[in-house]
Chains A and B, each alone.
Chain A
Amino acid sequence: MERSEDAAEAGMSNRWPEILVALFLFAIGVIVVSDSIRVGTGWEEGEGPRAGYFPFYIGSILLISSGWILIGALARIRKPQPQFATWEELRSVMQMLVPLSIYIVAVVFLGLYVSSFVLIAYFMKVHGKFGVIGTVLTSVGVPLAAFMLFERWFLVPLPKGPLELMLGL
């Protein structure tokens, strides 16, 4: 089984992603159905359908369809699986996903402008091998342009952090 996967390029098979996503959807289905039962799925005399009436059906469809996918995936578990992605590909995805996640956390605490500067500078310097001048110009320029466009022109405030507070913006 493993040999057929090795024959091409080493990587992760579809087996566990398929099962985990189906399990996740099934769990959502359980939440939807149980919450619908909590708020009432029945008929309120003189009022009509209760709040859980429609979501109950939706949750049931989700349970059935994700259960179906899950059973299918479990039945195939010992058979050769199509490849999800090669390790090399997954490494590339992680190179984006990890900084991206850090960026999102940073936006929450440092505001959007500072985080964006760091994100762009990081990618240009580490992956793009750009010179210092080009990196600084682009990574400062983009947040600055966003600031002018949103805060000044369209009057839409974007998330700010301690630095902006210090500068009194």
Chain B
Amino acid sequence: MEELNNLMHGFSVALTLPNLGFMVLGITLGILIGVLPGLGGANGIAILLPLTFSMDQTSAIIMLSCIYWGALFGGAITSILFNIPGEPWSVATTFDGFPMAQQGRAGAALTAAFTSSFVGAFFAVLLITFLAPLVAKFALKFGAAEMFAVQMLTFCSFVGMSKEPPAKTLAVMALGFAMAAVGMDTVTGTLRMTFGYPELLKGFDFLIAVIGLFGIGEILLTMEEGLAFKGKSAKIQLNVVLQTWKELLRYWRTSLRSVLVGCWMGVTPGGATPASFMAYGLARRGAKDKDTFGKGNIEGVVAPETAAHAAGTSALLPMLTLGIPGSPTAAVLLGGLLIWGLQPGPLLFTEKPDFVWGLIASMYLGNIVGLIVVLTTVPWWAAILRIPFSVIGPVIIVICAIGAYTVHSSIFDVVMMLVFGVFGYLFKKLRYPLAPLVLALVLGDMAESSFRQSMLLSQGSLDIFWANPLVAGLMLLSFTMLLWPIVPALKHYLRGRG
């Protein structure tokens, strides 16, 4: 059991007093980010990223990933108490969580949500512990063509699996790639699409895009909904926690199913949001008392929360092993690693084992710390949400502006943040998905360089993508995903004729 030894070593790296302090700090900041409208996991981490530049790498990533866990926990609080999903993946939690709070069972709903989140994340970390080294070892054999095929699969999966119109998914993805290409071409040194503006030389930073699209865009959406927080107050008593835990044991089948859905959707870039809806749907279909769903059935809280956390956590598996993030937040974490000079991918496991295993160990610890912190501090978070939006709104804008500025100390970035914010709003309203845009912006350079390397190897022939069974299989799967949206239309057409 080499993994266990590595993991034990990781615990010794992660379990230092300062690191535990960073965990608690990260979790607390994360819950705050998750609770506040306009600040989410992705842009919250983007804003806080510059602050970690002076920190030790391992401590920094531990804190950032703990912010991520915190944000995942925080989303559940607003869904259950205020019927406002703090994050898209907690929308499904509102279906049964809010009715439970209305019936005076807020404590039970919150306990169920936090515990399920913990369970989901825990199984996903187990998966990472044992699967990631294998994937990394396997991926070491990848050449440029295989790497490009994997990236291709990632992006085609977005088209095949997203609920948004495929043309819109494709368009924003291409927009992301195009923005990534702006600036100096790293291979030839040619300036691309800068049109003489020195501001464009370094291209578009995805951190600015994330802060604008998710932060400012979300604020504008929140304004539209007209904010009236009418929440339920919550206190969690110990006996409620114990009672709920006892009750939860009965739903192990739902939990297990949701873990599987979540892990699958996290590793393939389906993401936490579809995972939570899918798990909710499966739980309802499988239940004997279908009618109680939507009216405060605890199983309706367990299923989406478990799946969302399993997906959110397992999204880090492809990020660490292949350098391909499964979600926008994982993409921001990847950006952080790149800034610290760590190239995620198979080599990371052999070159920086301290870092990788320290991070994996911190996932176990972070989730335990998170569960304790969140169970004990719920009333405070609920109180924060009672602060009127006329205070919270402008303060969040100030925080976003500071975050955008500090990335490169560039005032141009603050202006760009506003532009991205307006587009974030428009895209959301018109059902353009944002995740593929961000991922394309992050992976653009990497995808381009692996494509060009493959072309160099093959002297310009596309045959290299069919050269061996592995790469051909990946490409075949990619095109299946890409063309998947056509299948229903085709079926419809054939049935119409027949």
**Complex interface: chain B residues within 8 A of A96 (CB):** 219-220, 223, 393
Provide 22 A-B residue pairs closer than 8 Å at the C-beta atoms, listed in order of the A residue.
Answer: A14-B430, A17-B426, A32-B181, A50-B188, A52-B192, A54-B452, A61-B173, A65-B167, A66-B171, A93-B223, A100-B418, A112-B402, A120-B394, A120-B398, A123-B393, A130-B390, A130-B391, A146-B398, A146-B402, A154-B54, A157-B409, A158-B402
Given contacts A47-B188, A112-B405, 20 further A-B contacts (CB under 8 A): A32-B181, A39-B185, A39-B192, A48-B187, A49-B455, A49-B460, A51-B188, A54-B448, A61-B174, A66-B167, A69-B168, A93-B425, A100-B421, A104-B414, A119-B398, A128-B391, A142-B395, A142-B398, A156-B51, A158-B405
A52 to B191 alpha-carbon distance, docked (Å): 10
**Complex interface: chain A residues within 8 A of B425 (CB):** 93
In the assembled complex, the CB of B426 is this many whole angstroms from the nearest CB of chain A, namely 6
Q: Are A107 and B192 also in contact (CB < 8 A) when A17-B430, A48-B452, A124-B391 are?
A: no
Asked if B411 is at the interface of the complex by the 8 Å CB criterion, the answer is yes
Among residues 24 to 58 in chain A, which have CB atoms less than 8 Å away from a CB atom of chain B? 25, 28-29, 31-32, 35-36, 39-40, 43-44, 47-55, 58
**Complex interface: chain A residues within 8 A of B398 (CB):** 112, 116, 119-120, 142-143, 146
In the assembled complex, the CB of B465 is this many whole angstroms from the nearest CB of chain A, namely 13
Docked-complex contact A93 and B455, CB < 8 angstroms: no
Among residues 94 to 128 in chain A, which have CB atoms less than 8 Å away from a CB atom of chain B? 95-97, 100-101, 103-104, 107-108, 112, 116, 119-120, 122-124, 127-128
**Complex interface: chain B residues within 8 A of A120 (CB):** 391, 394-395, 398
Cβ contacts A55-90/B at 8 Å (1 or 0 each): 100110110111011001000000000001100111
**Complex interface: chain B residues within 8 A of A154 (CB):** 51, 54
In the assembled complex, the CB of A9 is this many whole angstroms from the nearest CB of chain B, namely 13
Closest 5 pairs (CB-CB, A-B): A128-B390, A62-B174, A51-B190, A65-B170, A65-B171
Docked-complex contact B178 and A59, CB < 8 angstroms: yes
In this complex, what residue of B is CB-closest to A88?
Answer: B226
Docked-complex contact A150 and B402, CB < 8 angstroms: yes
Docked-complex contact A55 and B426, CB < 8 angstroms: no
**Complex interface: chain B residues within 8 A of A122 (CB):** 394
Q: Are A119 and B394 also in contact (CB < 8 A) when A21-B426, A108-B411 are?
A: yes
Cβ contacts A118-152/B at 8 Å (1 or 0 each): 01101110011010000000100011001000100
Most buried by A among B54, B193, B394, B427: B394
Docked-complex contact A92 and B226, CB < 8 angstroms: yes
**Complex interface: chain B residues within 8 A of A35 (CB):** 192-193
Q: Are A103 and B397 also in contact (CB < 8 A) when A69-B167, A93-B220, A156-B406 are?
A: yes
In the assembled complex, the CB of B181 is this many whole angstroms from the nearest CB of chain A, namely 4
**Complex interface: chain B residues within 8 A of A65 (CB):** 167-168, 170-171, 174
Asked if B224 is at the interface of the complex by the 8 Å CB criterion, the answer is yes
In this complex, what residue of B is CB-closest to A73?
Answer: B430
Docked-complex contact B409 and A53, CB < 8 angstroms: no
Asked if B497 is at the interface of the complex by the 8 Å CB criterion, the answer is no
In this complex, what residue of A is CB-closest to B220?
Answer: A93
Total interface residues on B, using CB and 8 Å? 60
In the assembled complex, the CB of B238 is this many whole angstroms from the nearest CB of chain A, namely 35
A120 to B192 alpha-carbon distance, docked (Å): 40
Docked-complex contact B414 and A107, CB < 8 angstroms: yes
**Complex interface: chain B residues within 8 A of A5 (CB):** none
**Complex interface: chain A residues within 8 A of B455 (CB):** 48-49, 53
A168 to B216 alpha-carbon distance, docked (Å): 32
A52 to B181 alpha-carbon distance, docked (Å): 9
Docked-complex contact B178 and A32, CB < 8 angstroms: yes
In the assembled complex, the CB of A63 is this many whole angstroms from the nearest CB of chain B, namely 9
Contacting A92 at CB < 8 Å: which of B190, B224, B427, B451? B224
Docked-complex contact A48 and B456, CB < 8 angstroms: yes
**Complex interface: chain B residues within 8 A of A14 (CB):** 430
Asked if B177 is at the interface of the complex by the 8 Å CB criterion, the answer is yes
Asked if A159 is at the interface of the complex by the 8 Å CB criterion, the answer is yes
**Complex interface: chain A residues within 8 A of B477 (CB):** none
A12 to B429 alpha-carbon distance, docked (Å): 12
Docked-complex contact A159 and B220, CB < 8 angstroms: no
In the assembled complex, the CB of A86 is this many whole angstroms from the nearest CB of chain B, namely 9
Asked if B348 is at the interface of the complex by the 8 Å CB criterion, the answer is no
Docked-complex contact A92 and B168, CB < 8 angstroms: no
**Complex interface: chain B residues within 8 A of A88 (CB):** 226
In the assembled complex, the CB of B193 is this many whole angstroms from the nearest CB of chain A, namely 5
A59 to B177 alpha-carbon distance, docked (Å): 9
Docked-complex contact A156 and B460, CB < 8 angstroms: no
A2 to B452 alpha-carbon distance, docked (Å): 52
In this complex, what residue of A is CB-closest to B221?
Answer: A93
Docked-complex contact A55 and B181, CB < 8 angstroms: yes
Cβ contacts B445-478/A at 8 Å (1 or 0 each): 0001001100110001000000000000000000
Among residues 385 to 402 in chain B, which have CB atoms less than 8 Å away from a CB atom of chain A? 388, 390-391, 393-395, 397-398, 401-402
